[in-house]
Amino acid sequence: MLRLAHISDVHLGPLPDVTYRDLASKRVLGYVNWQRNRRRHMHDAVIDTIVADIKANAPDHLAVTGDLVNLALDGEIEMAKHWLETLGPPNDVSVVPGNHDAYVPGAFDKVCRSWAPWMTGDGVNSPVDRNSFPYLRVRGDVALIGVTTARATAPFMANGFFMEGQAERLARTLDATARQGLFRAIMIHHPPVRGAVSQHKRLFGIARFNKVIRRHGAELVLHGHSHLPSLFTIGPRGAKVPVVGVAAAGQAPGGKHPAAQYNLFEIDGEKGNWSIRLTRRGLTGPALPPSDIQVVELGADMPVVRELLVRS
């Protein structure tokens, strides 16, 4: 059995010092949004509490599905690197970038250089770049497959992009890991589901991603971006794949989105007979000590979902 934790949308703060030159771009809008909204609801104490509870539960691996930073400032990217070092060795933590990590042109390349140890496939020694995705890590009987949808976009837009080249590479990776009899868990930032987020935040390439899943299969898709503890399915009838979102890991209680949570999966079984048990753990009140973390199980109120997760 492998125990896999999943967090997303950390939005580490506070922002480092910002110059007028830094704001001569789309960043000025993000900076205003941070000052008016995010800084009041995204707190380091929250993510520290979530990380402490993750470590107390000692998962075998941690998946981080993007948006570690806010404006992709050089200082933020470096701060996120140091934060990743506190999570654990790169061998035990896998990251895919989100739209905030590629907020302006050039930021994605800086993230790839800085966070490379956490976004490198097993046995790969070449530099990380856009063509490195999807990357593959195998832990026990689980194949962790990191996809990127991050790209700089126009002001007021937060879209993701899943293009043909990456689709072809993902198809090959899914086929190869299927031949090995592995459980295939895909990590992606934008939800590959229609209607999961508003139009200005949606993924371009949802149909392309779904086509790959229908033809080549997968067992689980983990995403962020929506800041919601969601659960969807994609794929052909009789072979539906769970698509699981999570509340933002830095979200304090009292905001318009659910307070910070993380997903904890217990993956067991063998090819054709996998079982997946999902537990959501998160903040439930205004205080922040670990005692305010409560287990939320997918249970009788979602019988179809529970059946899918347990018997997929």
Q: pLDDT at residue 289 above 50?
A: no
Buried b (16+ CB within 10 A) or exposed e, 211-240: ebbeebbbbbbbbbbbbbbbbbbbbeeeee
What CATH fold (topology level) applies to the domain 2-311?
Answer: Purple Acid Phosphatase; chain A, domain 2 (3.60.21)
In this prediction, residue 293 has a pLDDT band, given cuts at 50, 70 and 90, of: very low
> What's the full length of the chain, in residues?
312
30, 168 in Cβ contact below 8 A?
no
Cα dihedral sign for 311, 193, 9, 261? negative
For the segment 69-90, the average pLDDT, to the nearest whole number, is 93
- pLDDT tens-place string over residues 158-209: 899 999 999 999 999 999 999 999 999 999 999 999 999 999 999 999 999 9
Long-range contacts of residues 120-125, Cβ cutoff 8 Å, at least 24 apart: 120/90, 121/146
Break the chain into its structural domains and give their ranges. 2-311
Q: pLDDT at residue 296 above 50?
A: no
- pLDDT tens-place string over residues 207-237: 999 999 999 999 999 999 999 999 999 988 7
d(CA 76, CA 107): 11
- pLDDT tens-place string over residues 32-68: 554 555 555 556 688 988 999 999 999 999 999 999 9
In this prediction, residue 156 has a pLDDT band, given cuts at 50, 70 and 90, of: confident
